[in-house]
Amino acid sequence: MIRLLSSSIGLLLLLIGYAAAGPESDLRPRAVRSSACQEHTNLHNRLDVVEKKVEDTVEKLETELAALLDSIEGPQWPTELEDPAQRGRS
């Protein structure tokens, strides 16, 4: 009976140790972990490049939009052309 109890306690402690060790991904070889880290870093670098291109595109579009709005609001017509009464006198 004592032997069965100590075996059960030993098995229980072993299971607790495995559970406390964390996920199995940490048990991968170092080369595999560093490869995954490198892929993660490469992905972030590519995302940084995409983010920079998007920011540059947005800046260009804002500049073009401002120029279009200035060209729409820009032309000032002489008051003679705006006033219908003045048109008949010329």
pLDDT tens figures, 6-26? 777 777 777 787 766 666 555
Supply the pLDDT for residue 15: 75
The amino acid sitting at 14 is L
Quote the pTM value.
0.46
Q: Which is nearest to 80 in space by CA: 72, 71, 90?
A: 90
